[in-house]
Amino acid sequence: MLIFDRKNLVGVDIGSYAVKAVKVKGTTVKTLDAIAYSRLDHITLPQDNLRLSEALRNLFNAHRITTKKVAAVLPGNYLTLTHLYLPKMPKKDMKEAVRWEMRKQITFPPEELVCDFTSIGEVKRGEDIMISLIAFGAMKRDVGQVIKIFEDALLEPSTIDATPIAMLASFNHNNVWEDGINYSMMDIGESKSTLAIFKDKRLMFAREIPIAGKELTISVMERLACAEAVAEKEKIRCGIVYSGEGDRAIADALSGVMERLVAEAHRSFDYYQAQFREGAINKMFLCGGTSKLNGIDDFFTSSLGIPCFVDDPLRNIRIEPKRFTLTRLREFGPDLTVAVGLAL
Ligand SMILES: Nc1ncnc2c1ncn2[C@@H]1O[C@H](COP(=O)(O)OP(=O)(O)OP(=O)(O)O)[C@@H](O)[C@H]1O
Ligand SMILES: [Mg+2]
């Protein structure tokens, strides 16, 4: 009965490297119902929208996912994300005010703007109490395209969310919150990394950084003067740990890129602490395909000086061993954080 299926949406994370779909069932105890993963070789949006629909349809069929309703994120660079301060006002006026502020930041015609926001809390700025919030904006046309990709795959997009919101949902389900503690999570994918800071069950800060797996591969490719596919294999095999003298060149090439990513995280933490008069970030969780890079947790821990862990988005989700091979699920692990968040 589809009508009772409303809450059990399939979370679909369309990335530039792979699409991941996750479905969970149950209300309080969540049980894994379906998992699907597919590389998106040579599919670039918007030229290949139809091929993407086909890939989605095939993925759902191959994994016998019959649920049509999906929760998705806006892929790639379709999203504009900004921090705003606004005077206190009724909620319905807030929406208009956010729209007004967003209009100043976009490069497309304002009538094309769709936006939403999440408020962080009240902050004192000078003499005034202001509301601090994170606003998300996108072009109607882009959102329409994403909806069409799903519809062409015979799916029904029920919600389209921003990546940091999905990360928060996954984090919330899988971790115990400590009062007043600042947690950070970074989704390191193929083309971009999304940095988020959470506190007291709320998203406090979010930012996209254009450094991720692709740049790591290119750096190895240049260092070894090899093909991209070879460089990717070597990146995955070696990581940023020296396991032998022969791997030093690869590890060095990767460290160079990772140092810049860590520096961006550092800068964001400093900004967050100064701007919001916040305490230090206490812990960091890494997710996305690139968080599986060998040695990444130690690299982040020693560079940032705080404990950094690779996320396990299935930690608090019941898995029936009869239905899923646990070792296979472990392989995906942090790739699925955003899809799990969407599904939740
Ligand atoms: N074991 C591994 N070690 C290092 N990197 C890995 C490993 N497995 C996958 N990757 C890298 O992870 C990246 C893909 O991650 P992910 O699936 O999260 O990206 P995406 O969500 O499709 O992309 P984006 O969010 O940037 O649009 C690729 O760059 C891939 O090379
Ligand atoms: Mg991604």
CA atoms within 13 A of residue 253's CA, in its CB half-sphere? 25
- pLDDT on residue 4: 43
- Sequential DSSP letters for 284-330: EEEESGGGGSTTHHHHHHHHHSS-EEE--TTTTSB--TTTS-HHHHH
- Sequential DSSP letters for 174-207: HS---TT-EEEEEEE-SS-EEEEEEETTEEEEEE
- CB 340 within 8 Å of CB 6: no
- CB 131 within 8 Å of CB 118: no
Q: Is 189 in the pocket of ligand 1 (CB under 6 A)?
A: yes
State the pairing for strand pair 182-188/193-199.
antiparallel
Q: Is 76 in the pocket of ligand 1 (CB under 6 A)?
A: yes
- pLDDT on residue 7: 62
Q: Is 182 in the pocket of ligand 1 (CB under 6 A)?
A: no
Which ligand is the nearest neighbour of the Cα of 76? Answer: 1
Distance 122 CA to ligand 2 centre (A): 31
**Interacting residues of 62 by C-beta distance below 8 A, sequence separation 6+:** 36
Integer distance in angstroms from the first to the last C-alpha of the chain? 20
pLDDT in tens, the chain (344 residues): 334 444 679 999 999 999 999 999 998 899 999 999 999 988 888 889 999 999 999 999 999 999 999 999 987 678 889 999 999 999 889 999 999 999 998 999 999 999 999 998 888 878 889 999 999 999 999 999 999 999 999 999 999 999 999 999 999 999 999 999 999 999 999 999 999 999 999 999 999 999 999 999 999 999 999 999 999 999 999 999 877 777 999 999 999 999 999 999 999 999 999 988 899 999 999 999 999 999 999 999 999 999 999 999 999 999 999 999 988 888 899 999 999 999 99
Q: Is 341 in the pocket of ligand 1 (CB under 6 A)?
A: no
Distance 285 CA to ligand 1 centre (A): 16
Among residues 30, 92, 88, 21, which one has the least CA distance to residue 58? 21
How far apart (Å, rounded) are the C-alpha atoms in residues 209 and 262? 10
pTM: 0.95
Q: Is 192 in the pocket of ligand 1 (CB under 6 A)?
A: yes
Distance 92 CA to ligand 1 centre (A): 40
- pLDDT on residue 48: 93
- pLDDT on residue 5: 46
How far apart (Å, rounded) are the C-alpha atoms in residues 97 and 95? 5
Distance 190 CA to ligand 2 centre (A): 7
Q: Is 333 in the pocket of ligand 1 (CB under 6 A)?
A: no
C-alpha to C-alpha distances, 154 to 5, 160, 281, nearest whole angstrom: 17, 16, 43
Q: Is 232 in the pocket of ligand 1 (CB under 6 A)?
A: yes
Peptide bond into 334 cis (omega under 30): no
Q: Is 311 in the pocket of ligand 1 (CB under 6 A)?
A: no
Mutate to test the pocket of ligand 1, among 290, 293, 331, 336 (most ligand atoms within 8 A of CB): 290
Please give the domain boundaries of the chain with CATH numbers for all domains. 2-76+141-177+312-343 (3.30.420.40), 78-139 (3.30.1490.300), 209-308 (3.30.420.40)
- CB 269 within 8 Å of CB 169: no
